């Protein structure tokens, strides 16, 4: 059976009319597609975790209401990702007049050159098809952004060709007009100068622009979405009131509200490499909780500037560094299984310090603060899994002079040997093996090493063991 040929897309205004194409405004188009996705229970925010009951319903309401939106939140709260995901609510393709700088609607052009083209060619005017990715533009607001960047400027070349300054055709359009019939996003909105904010307001509300004193009536069809830090937006008064009032919905983002969400983001966002099966990486569940707990504690610390926030990127980079140090050890000692240990945690200072702002600027004190956060995270995670009393029999072995040395460079087999020095059937070792099983660290030497270090460190932080730091290693004793 011969498959039917793919339907040919209209190539002229006349063909588009015959196809009975109905052009919608951007807000109507997004609303239509959102309704369809809600009915089908589709997720149109891929990779967004923890906002299902908070941010996403508010955004859906704004789109259904046809409102422009501003996201308020500290850094690392997926504001930009949310904004970029809005592209999925646009149609796959829309028709535009061929050669138009501002994606004019073939049925209702707004720029002078396209109006003249329709008057001259009528239904024979050619059209082009614009995909959804080409209908999105994004700008980071900085103090040096100009009206020319966002709205437009007189093009001296066009003036030199003989056009008058008062002629609309002399205008070189900026980002916003070039995003006509699409989504325009501006990040860190408060950093725009007041003059530029007025220009943005005119585009959103009055639908006209002024370029060097020449007023152009330009009824653009643009969905405008922005992001801002709450402190800049609400406290410092850096937004002109008319512009602030123009955004229909002000949506507050937030950091993950549970360790489960933070861990899911860590797993999703960490950088992965294909090592062709040379290594097998296993991160025990408790270790993921530990890394997420460090970030959670940092968000509550009075010694860290909470106004600037503690990004999820802290968790992601710590997670990556922890695995990398475990990999470095495996390479050095000739092992194929990569499992992180507590002795890898000091290397997280490097991936934490650059992503948080301290209330003081003393480097040594700040590094010490990060180390304290790590210790507290270990203790909190330990208490989530165990009660210290269950290790009384295991601790009795230390009272007889037993000790355990640990090092981030030590082979996993050495840890396993230490756990097998006594019969596994004795109460002291049976309790340890049960604890390792609860940590999912009982299937290999590398896993045993990870679990044993965690248990020893937890007992030390509970003041049930002493920890003596030696050259490149530590020893746990009674």
**Contact assessment for residue 326 and residue 338, using Cβ atoms and an 8 Å cutoff:** yes
C-alpha 288/C-alpha 290 separation (Å) is 5
- According to DSSP, the β-strands at 93-97 and 127-131 are antiparallel
* 7 occurs within a structural domain: no
Q: Are residues 242 and 350 in the same domain?
A: no
Mean pLDDT of 315-339: 94
Q: Are residues 288 and 230 in the same domain?
A: no
Query: How crowded is the C-beta side of 181, counted as CA atoms within 13 Å?
Result: 23
With cut-offs at 50, 70 and 90, classify the pLDDT of residue 373. very high
Q: Are residues 272 and 406 in the same domain?
A: yes
Domain tally, the chain: 2
pLDDT greater than 90 at residue 197: no
pLDDT greater than 50 at residue 3: no
Q: Which residue has the higher pLDDT, 415 or 12?
A: 12
Each residue of 419-442: pLDDT tens digit? Answer: 776 555 566 677 888 999 999 998
* 2 occurs within a structural domain: no
Q: Are residues 286 and 407 in the same domain?
A: yes
Report pTM. 0.84
Q: Are residues 266 and 323 in the same domain?
A: yes
With cut-offs at 50, 70 and 90, classify the pLDDT of residue 5. very low
Name the strand (E) or helix (H) holding 10: none
* 246 occurs within a structural domain: yes
Q: Are residues 45 and 188 in the same domain?
A: yes
Q: Are residues 191 and 338 in the same domain?
A: no
Domain-terminating residue out of 229, 252, 275:
252
How confident is the model at residue 4, as a pLDDT? Answer: 43
* Pick from 208, 176, 221, 201: nearest CA to 66: 221
* Pick from 40, 62, 17, 50: nearest CA to 312: 50
Mean pLDDT of 51-80: 93
Mapping DSSP to helix (H, G, I), strand (E, B) and coil, where does residue 159 land? Answer: helix
The CA angle 272-274-278, to the nearest 5 degrees, is 120
Please list the alpha-helical segments (H only) found in 170-306. Answer: 175-178, 194-201, 230, 241-246, 259-269, 285-298
Measured CA distances, 116 to 97, 112, 119 (Å): 12, 6, 5
Mean pLDDT of 308-328: 92
List phi, psi (to 5°) of 460.
Answer: -65, -45
Please say whether the dihedral angle defined by the alpha carbons of residues 394, 398, 400 and 403, taken in this order, is positive or negative. positive
The lowest-confidence range among 116-130, 298-312, 320-334 is 298-312
Mean pLDDT of 235-250: 76
Domain-terminating residue out of 183, 218, 252:
252
Residues above pLDDT 70, as percent of the chain: 88
* 8 occurs within a structural domain: no
* 5 occurs within a structural domain: no
C-alpha 221/C-alpha 26 separation (Å) is 6
Mean pLDDT of 236-265: 86
With cut-offs at 50, 70 and 90, classify the pLDDT of residue 383. very high
Q: Are residues 213 and 263 in the same domain?
A: no
Q: Are residues 46 and 156 in the same domain?
A: yes
With cut-offs at 50, 70 and 90, classify the pLDDT of residue 451. very high
C-alpha 464/C-alpha 398 separation (Å) is 10
DSSP code string of 37-80: HHHHT---STT--S-TTTHHHHHHHHHHHT--EEEE--TTSSHH
Burial grade of 401 (CB within 10 A; 0-12, 13-18, 19 or more): exposed
**CATH number of domain containing 87:** 3.40.50.300
**Contact assessment for residue 72 and residue 252, using Cβ atoms and an 8 Å cutoff:** yes
Each residue of 140-177: pLDDT tens digit? Answer: 988 888 877 887 776 655 655 555 555 556 677 888 88
Q: Are residues 422 and 405 in the same domain?
A: yes
List phi, psi (to 5°) of 216.
Answer: -120, 125
Mapping DSSP to helix (H, G, I), strand (E, B) and coil, where does residue 200 land? Answer: helix
pLDDT greater than 50 at residue 1: no
* 73 occurs within a structural domain: yes
- What's the domain range around 285? 259-477
Domain-terminating residue out of 252, 270, 287:
252
Q: Average pLDDT over the chain, rounded to whole?
A: 86
Q: Are residues 228 and 265 in the same domain?
A: no
Q: Are residues 126 and 31 in the same domain?
A: yes
């Amino acid at each position: 059976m011969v498959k039917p040929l793919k339907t040919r897309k209209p190539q002229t205004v006349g063909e588009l009319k015959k196809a009975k194409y109905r052009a919608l405004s951007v807000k109507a188009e997004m609303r239509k597609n959102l309704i369809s996705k809600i009915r089908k229970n589709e997720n149109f925010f891929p990779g967004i975790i923890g906002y299902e009951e908070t941010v996403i319903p508010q955004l859906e309401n704004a789109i259904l209401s046809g409102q422009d939106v501003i996201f308020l939140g500290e850094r690392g709260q997926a504001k930009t990702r949310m904004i970029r995901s809005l592209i999925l609510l646009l149609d796959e393709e829309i028709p535009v007049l061929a050669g138009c700088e501002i994606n004019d609607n073939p049925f209702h052009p707004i720029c002078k050159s396209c109006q003249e083209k329709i008057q001259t060619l009528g239904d024979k005017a050619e059209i082009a098809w614009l995909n959804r990715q080409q209908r999105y533009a994004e700008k980071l607001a900085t103090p040096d952004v100009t009206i020319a960047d966002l709205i437009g400027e007189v093009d001296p070349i066009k003036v030199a060709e003989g056009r008058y300054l008062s002629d609309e055709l002399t205008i070189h359009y900026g980002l916003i007009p070039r995003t006509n019939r699409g989504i325009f996003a501006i990040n860190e909105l408060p950093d725009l100068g007041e003059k530029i904010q007025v220009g943005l307001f005119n585009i959103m509300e009055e639908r006209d622009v002024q370029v060097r004193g020449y007023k152009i009536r330009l009824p653009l069809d643009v969905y405008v979405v922005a992001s801002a830090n709450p402190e800049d937006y609400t406290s410092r008064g850096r937004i002109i009131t008319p512009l602030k009032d123009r955004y229909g919905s002000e949506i507050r983002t937030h950091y993950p509200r549970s360790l489960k969400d933070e861990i899911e983001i860590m797993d999703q966002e960490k950088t992965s490499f294909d090592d062709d099966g040379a290594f097998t990486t296993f991160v025990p569940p408790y270790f993921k909780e530990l890394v997420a707990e460090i970030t959670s504690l940092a968000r509550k610390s009075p010694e860290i500037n909470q106004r600037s926030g503690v990004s999820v990127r802290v968790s992601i980079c710590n997670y990556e560094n922890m695995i990398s140090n475990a990999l470095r050890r495996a390479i050095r000692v000739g092992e194929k299984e990569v499992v992180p240990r507590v002795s890898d945690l000091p290397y997280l200072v490097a991936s934490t310090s650059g992503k948080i702002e301290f209330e003081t600027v003393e480097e040594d004190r700040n590094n010490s603060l990060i180390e304290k956060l790590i210790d507290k995270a270990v203790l909190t995670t330990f208490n989530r899994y165990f009660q210290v009393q269950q290790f009384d029999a295991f601790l009795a072995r230390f009272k007889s002079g037993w000790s355990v040395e640990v090092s981030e460079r030590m082979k996993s087999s050495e840890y396993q040997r230490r756990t097998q020095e006594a019969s596994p059937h004795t109460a002291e070792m049976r309790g340890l093996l049960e604890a390792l099983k609860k940590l999912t660290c009982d299937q290999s030497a590398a896993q045993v090493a990870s679990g044993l270090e965690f248990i020893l460190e937890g007992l030390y932080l509970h003041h049930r063991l002493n920890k003596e730091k030696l050259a490149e290693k530590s020893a746990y004793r009674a």
